[in-house]
Structures are given as structure tokens and as C-alpha cells.
Amino acid sequence: MDLGLLYSGGKDSTLAGLLLEDFYDVTLVTASFGITDAWEHARETADATGFEFDTVALDDDVAGQAVETMVEDGYPRNGIQQVHLHALEAVAEMEFDAVADGTRRDDRVPSVSRAQAQSLEDRHDVDYIVPLAGFGRNAVDSLVDATLDVQTGPSEEIPKADYEDELRVLLAREYGEGTVSEVFPDHTQTYVKGFSRAGARPGRPDAK
């Protein structure tokens, strides 16, 4: 069965792919508004970890609405949530048998409620899977530390292909550079460069 995993190049979505690949033909799918070429970072990680890779275009209007929401709220949470749900819809329209993301048990945003998940499945005739739903932060970090070569640092400095990169650019363009730091709190992000040992794909002697 074919599965499209909404993918940022970070540790959570990469780990989700590794957990799913014994059961599905996994394609990592990075959603992009076309504002930057940040999706290329995700493609590099997909190559390094041996997964198929694709991109899906998002609606520019959703980016604009998300940025407006962030400015009105003074924080990014609700805007990020809007974009995540839109991105899942876009992946579900790609004719996969199943779609997934890297959200964890402890995540507040993005998140998908049971009703939203059921609606997505019914409208697109797909299965929506959350492989990290039973994993807390410590469990994820332990698995990642044993498996992946990860770069960690301030969000604005780490290569990434999630929504934040493009939304930061659009926010600066529409409201000024100072608004970015007002809306986005300081936080760290991750970028997966490959496996922690050459060919160290979990349960396999060799990488794909």
C-alpha cells in the first residue's frame, strides 16, 4: 500500500517514516507555497535516508490567511494549525492509500482531532495514520539519538522544509522583519542529515 508522509526533514517526520516503512511503500511529501526553495532540504534528507520523495503545492490564500491570523494573535499556533490541516488535505488528494504526519502525543500544535481525522478519511477515502501518537518527547529523542544524525539549533538558523520557513518570509514581506521576532518565539528545530552510522537503517544491514 502506498502512503504519503507529510515531511519537513526534521527528526519527528523522519522517525515516523522509519516506523511505517515495514508496512507501507512510503513517499515523503513536502508541502510548499512556492515562496522559497526550502523543500530542497527535505529532498536531501530523503535521499540520505533512502525514501521516495515528492512535493505538493499549497494554496497561496492559505498562507496569507495564516500570516494574518498570526499577526492578529501575536503568536504562530493557530496559523500553523491552519496550514497543517490544509497540507494534509493536499497530500490526501494525491491518491495515496494512506496519509500520515509526524505529530507526537505531547504536541499541542499542529494536531488533528478525531473528528478532523475521520472527515479527512471519509472525504478522500484514505487512512490517516499518526505513528508517533503514542510516543512522548523522551521516547522520540531516545530513538532519534540511537538512529539519526541530527542538526539542532535556533529555528532561524536550521535548514528546514516545514511551513515556518515560508511563513516567516511572507510575514517579513507583508509586515516587516521585526514582526517575525514578535510573532515567533525563540525555539529550536531539527534537521536530519542521515543515519548516525553509515548504512545504519534500523533492522537492516544496509541502507536502501
Q: Map out the domains of the chain as residue ranges.
A: 2-195
Q: What pLDDT, in 10s, does the model give residues 9-38?
A: 999 999 999 999 999 999 999 999 999 998
Closest CA to 163 of 99, 102, 79, 105: 79
d(CA 183, CA 89) in angstroms, rounded, equals: 26
pLDDT band at 205 (very low <50, low <70, confident <90, very high): very low
Residues 6+ apart with CB under 8 A from 195: 48, 49, 147, 148, 149, 201, 207
- Which residue is listed with cell 482531532? 113
Residues 6+ apart with CB under 8 A from 190: 10, 11, 12, 150, 151, 152, 158
Homologous superfamily, domain 2-195: HUPs (3.40.50.620)
pLDDT, average across residues 89-108? 93
Q: What is the pLDDT of residue 158?
A: 79
pLDDT, average across residues 118-123? 97
Orientation of helix 77-92 relative to helix 163-175, angle to 10°:
130
Cell numbers standing for residue 37:
526553495
CA end-to-end distance (rounded Å), the chain: 18
Q: What pLDDT, in 10s, does the model give residues 160-191?
A: 788 888 999 999 999 998 999 899 887 788 88
pLDDT, average across residues 35-47? 92
Closest CA to 6 of 131, 106, 107, 165: 131
Is pLDDT at 208 greater than 90 in this prediction?
no
